[in-house]
Amino acid sequence: MTFKKFTYTILISTIVLAANAQEVLINLSSYPIPKTDNNTKASLYKAKSILELPFFDDFARPTVFPTDELWESSDVLCNLNYAINPPTIGVATFDAINRKGELYEWLSTTPQGADTLTSLPINLVYPASDSIYLSFSFQPRGLGIDPTDRDSLVLELWDEVQTKWVRAWSASYTKDSLRQKNILNKKFKKVESDTLHKTFHNAIICIEDEGFLTSNFKFRFINYASIADNSTVPSIRGNTDHWHIDMVYINKDRYFEDTIFNDVAFSRPIKNLMINYTSVPWSHFSSAYSSEFPSPLKINTYYKNLGPITWLVSIKFNVYDLSGLKPDSLFPGGGDNINPYQEYFYSRYFDLSFKSAWQDSAKYSIQSIITLFNTPKSTIPAHFVYNDTISRTIEFHNYYSYDDGSAEMGYGIFGEGTIGATVAQKFYNYKADTLKGIMIYFNRIYNDANDKPFRLMVWDDDNGKPGNIIYQKNSVRPKFTDSLNKYSVYRIDPTAIPIGNFYIGWMKETQDALNVGFDMNADNKSRLFFNKDGDWENTQQEGTLMIRPIFGKMHQIPTNVTPNPTNQNISIYPNPAKDNIFIKVDNATEIATIQIINSVGNVVLSQTYYNQEPINIQNIPPGFYIVKVCPQKGKCITSKLLIVR
């Protein structure tokens, strides 16, 4: 670790901060959760009251919380960003936070039960000789915070005979040691390494006791967590104890070494398409395009062969204009043999012009799909289908951003001598315009102890560092939200920003850390500066401060929809709908394509249709959707649909 002028970084879950002024990374007391419920997500089949084997979940569904097809309601978070190198895309993360983004009120410095994930009832009426095993993969910490040596991840099974939960397995972790206790099968394992937090570890349990082999078998994971003992520093007292699980699998005819899956799956999310930013204002897009988008564009995908079989695999790509102006762009990918247990990287170059039916914004969904050659879709187990598809939604509205919308840490400056200290993040403005506001994502701290006044600041450029103050607003306070991409928005007096570098940030009015969201998946430390003694210095932290400048109008929804040039109208009935819908497009009789898109931009249904033929929506959960119809002739048309049950 590099020291500069007595400024350094520590993980406050394990070390109590000294009084000296310091940069700090703060463990989260909340997670930016999209205001989306499982019931707004599409599924291939309806939930059953009693599940049948096999039971499998790799948390690859595009849901915020574990699917209610397999699990009871839970505060465990499904995400793409918190784990390191998971077996497949998506994990379930356990921490000390409920789904409202608040620390569990009963937690203390002594470990207590925090997040719980409980399965729905499963039919296990089988003889013990059928060799039923439960397996899963898990990782401590990842990009989060180390569990303390007293904290643990626990698996419990429901014993129908004794009518109680029975502890079957547990794991504990220190920075260089991981201990597994298979209590049920009397197997114990200890591993020592300094990279344990970057690895997924396998666990497997044999289920053979009569109390478990019933029609009402259930199991649950619980993490026992504690909060940091920083009572003298309340503004940095936050969340600890991160565990991530993946590949939860129960089936018969298994054995203790059976942790291999014959499947090819995406292993990482689609990365950002832009060179520097994750978003630019739509009104600046044409000025920024040549600098931010390589020509041709490139989509990078990562996928793994999880088993011992060589597969012939192809990747295809779909690009959907969610404004409805342009037809979908389909890009086939090449095929290749995928060797056992290998991770592969595939890039697809393509030409794409970004346009929108909205005058002030644009929104696109990019989708990639794995196809196994010479493998009929009907032969692929249903539980593997979700990890074959990944998507990324990109939106251009009224702000510049570097972050991906997820905060894995919080950033701040704390200690004596930091009153008046400043933090600034550099942005390059591609078009002379007026800065109207600043968006900041604040992580919550225990008892909202970081709710302290600060000064909102804007600087011009001085040879690559913040220069003169061109705007400041005194005694501003953090605003807390619990929604992804719904940052706190601060209006400022209109401030002219020329083409070139400028800086936004804050000046401290107390010694407390403000705990601004910090994205660990995008490294922009060269653009993040702090100043506590008169000199601007680059941060030593690899990540991105979640702060965004706003240009143009201050609203956050698409407006001024351009009239459809075909003068076609779309009718959907019934609306609200339950089982089937009918779509009528004026002056359209030919075959067209229809897509139903959920609230986060994922396509949940795509098919061809004839005007006014019935479309089955029984497998789409209740919620609001966008219906996009693209006739063979003319422009695509969109409308809203409400599904109710």
Using one digit for the tens of pLDDT, what is the confidence trace for 268-314?
999 888 999 999 999 999 999 999 998 888 888 999 999 999 999 98
Average pLDDT over residues 501-530: 91
- Please state which of the ranges 9-23, 25-39, 515-529, 605-619 shows the lowest mean pLDDT: 9-23
The residue ranking higher by pLDDT, 609 or 469, is 469
Straight-line distance from the first to the last Cα atom of the chain, in angstroms, rounded to the nearest whole number: 57
pTM of this structure: 0.77
* β-bridge mates for residue 297, sequence order: 350
pLDDT at 34 over 60: no
Concatenate the DSSP letters of all residues of 326-365 into one string. S--EEEEEEEEEE-TT-EEEEEEEE------SBSS-EEEE
pLDDT tier at 607 (50, 70, 90 boundaries)? confident
| Chain segment 617-628, per-residue pLDDT in tens | 988 888 778 888
Strands (E), 228-327: 243-251, 264-266, 297-305, 311-321
pLDDT at 401 over 70: yes
pLDDT tier at 226 (50, 70, 90 boundaries)? confident
Average pLDDT over residues 346-372: 87
Structural contact between residues 514 and 506, judged by C-beta atoms closer than 8 angstroms? yes
| Chain segment 247-268, per-residue pLDDT in tens | 999 999 999 999 999 899 999 9
pLDDT tier at 20 (50, 70, 90 boundaries)? low
| Chain segment 99-137, per-residue pLDDT in tens | 766 778 888 778 999 999 999 999 999 999 999 999 999
The residue ranking higher by pLDDT, 228 or 351, is 351
Question: What is the model's pLDDT at position 611?
Answer: 60
- Please state which of the ranges 84-98, 272-286, 421-435, 623-637 shows the lowest mean pLDDT: 623-637
CA proximity to 113, closest of 246, 237, 248, 243: 243
pLDDT at 223 over 90: yes
Question: Which tokens in the block code for residue 525?
Answer: 């430390």
Concatenate the DSSP letters of all residues of 389-436 into one string. EEEEEEEESSB-B-S-S--SEEEEEESTT-TT-EEEEEEEESS-EEEE
Structural contact between residues 406 and 79, judged by C-beta atoms closer than 8 angstroms? yes
CA dist 123 → 49, 126, 373 (Å): 10, 8, 34
Mean confidence (pLDDT) of the chain: 83
Question: What is the model's pLDDT at position 287?
Answer: 97
Question: What is the model's pLDDT at position 533?
Answer: 87
Question: Which residues lie below 8 Å from residue 398, measured CB to CB, with a gap of 6+?
Answer: 281, 282, 283, 360, 361, 436, 550, 551, 552, 553, 554, 555, 556
Phi, psi (deg, nearest 5) at residue 446: -50, 125
pLDDT tier at 593 (50, 70, 90 boundaries)? confident
Question: What is the model's pLDDT at position 612?
Answer: 62
pLDDT at 42 over 80: no
Share of the chain above pLDDT 90, in %: 48
Share of the chain above pLDDT 70, in %: 82
Question: What is the model's pLDDT at position 64?
Answer: 85
Question: What is the model's pLDDT at position 566?
Answer: 43
Phi, psi (deg, nearest 5) at residue 382: -60, -30
Question: What is the model's pLDDT at position 614?
Answer: 83
Question: Which tokens in the block code for residue 98?
Answer: 């409920």
Question: What is the model's pLDDT at position 22?
Answer: 66
Task: Report the residue count for the chain.
Answer: 645
Average pLDDT over residues 213-226: 95
Question: What is the model's pLDDT at position 98?
Answer: 79
pLDDT at 344 over 50: yes
